Structure 1
Amino acid sequence: MARWEPNASRRLMAAALDLFEEHGYDNTTVTGIAERAGLAKSTFFRHYADKREVLFDDDTLAALLVEGIGAAPEGATALDALAHAFDRTGRAVFTNDRREFSARRIAVIAAAPELQERDALKERGLIAAMVDALERRGVPDLTARVAAELGALAFRVAYERWGDPAARDDFDQVLRRALVDVRDAGALC
């Protein structure tokens, strides 16, 4: 691809995923990722701090979740506000054309401890953003923290289910079911 073509971030992400699958995370370099994407190494660093970041575009995700929580109907419970945010986010980010990429991403992360660590750190950041957004709605701190943790668990479960090649439902539908499953499991504790 020519260097001037758009979507550098997505191209870098796709190139990194291909190389992580082909050569493993440890044997893949930023230079190799940039070359595979048809871009300069400096372009990589304009988009990502390091090769661990290339599979994580959570700034967009966090912003959508916070916006969705804020836009939830007045009087919604903490979990209902999260469900509202998840619906909006699922339709915007987790489109069916991204399903195969997501399944591959899950497998690559599972094979690389550094990526697992980064995934956990990114999840902590999403939880903190959800807690903050819930507290701005007037949800008490402990309730906001519990709801955000449960929401993150539901989100993780849904992402894994949706990324399964046999899955057919849209992400927002899978996430709604996962949220119900998490609520039900919590009631059993």
Structure 2
Amino acid sequence: MGRWQPNARGRLETAALELYAERGFEQTTVVEIAERAGLTERTFFRHYADKREVLFGGSGTLQELFATTLADLPRSTTAMDAVGTTLETVAAEFRDRHAFARQRQAVITANAELRERELVKLASLAATMADALRQRGVKEPAASLAAETGIAVFKVAFERWTASTGRRDLSAFVREALTELKAVTAGS
């Protein structure tokens, strides 16, 4: 594949995930990723700061999606309903990404450093949601509790989805997790 062909970022992502699965994250180098993608190391660094960013590069976009979705909901929506709607909206963005998400999750699960980074990302998403809820007028500790609970629901749903065949959308797993949460909090 020529270096001039489009979608360098996607090619790097695919190459990295293949190599991480074959050799492990630690044993894979940026040079190997670039070579597998038919690109140069310099091109890799135009798209990613380091090889971890292949797995976490979309975090900023995800954070923004959480914040804007929450901000755009009617003010009359309760905190947990707003969180639930936001989770389902975000989940819809993962449509057609099951194979990538599944591979990514396997790489992260196999590496302690990456698991830690994933937890930091989730904490950042929770902070973003809590801030968006506070901006909607939700007081503390309700804003933080709703946001942290929402991220826990999303994490559980995401893990169940990536462990599945992918026939059902992430949104279905989010709805199931929210239903389970309601049952748990209602004392059922």
TM-score by length of 2: 0.91
1:180 and 1:25 mapped to 2: Cα distance? 36
2:66 and 2:158 mapped to 1: Cα distance? 15
Q: Which moved more, 1:16-25 or 1:29-38?
A: 29-38
1:52 and 1:141 mapped to 2: Cα distance? 34
* Pairwise CA distance, 1:179: 2.0
Q: Would you say the 8 A contact 1:52–1:114 is kept in 2?
A: no
**Amino acid of the residue matched to residue 71 of structure 2?**
G
2:127 and 2:51 mapped to 1: Cα distance? 24
1:126 and 1:132 mapped to 2: Cα distance? 10
Count of residues paired in the alignment: 187
Q: Which runs of 5+ in 2 are unaligned?
A: none
1:78 and 1:13 mapped to 2: Cα distance? 36
* Pairwise CA distance, 1:103: 1.5
SS at match of 2:84: helix
**Amino acid of the residue matched to residue 120 of structure 2?**
L
2:186 and 2:37 mapped to 1: Cα distance? 48
1:155 counterpart residue number: 154
Q: Which runs of 5+ in 1 are unaligned?
A: none
1:8 and 1:121 mapped to 2: Cα distance? 27
What fraction of aligned residue pairs are identical, expressed as a percent? 46
1:85 counterpart residue number: 86
1:70 counterpart residue number: 71
1:48 counterpart residue number: 48
1:36 aligns with 2:32: no
* 1:21-79: CA deviation from partner (whole Å, max 9, x where unpaired): 10011100111112212222222222222111211111111111111101122311111
2:132 counterpart residue number: 133
1:174 counterpart residue number: 173
**Amino acid of the residue matched to residue 3 of structure 1?**
R
1:186 and 1:19 mapped to 2: Cα distance? 43
1:98 aligns with 2:97: yes
Cα 1:7–1:74, aligned 2, differ >3 Å: closer, same or farther? Answer: same
- Superposition RMSD on alpha carbons, in Å? 1.8
1:119 counterpart residue number: 118
**Amino acid of the residue matched to residue 60 of structure 1?**
T
SS at match of 2:141: helix
* Pairwise CA distance, 1:187: 4.5
* 1:110-149: CA deviation from partner (whole Å, max 9, x where unpaired): 1111111111111111111111111111111311111111
1:22 counterpart residue number: 22
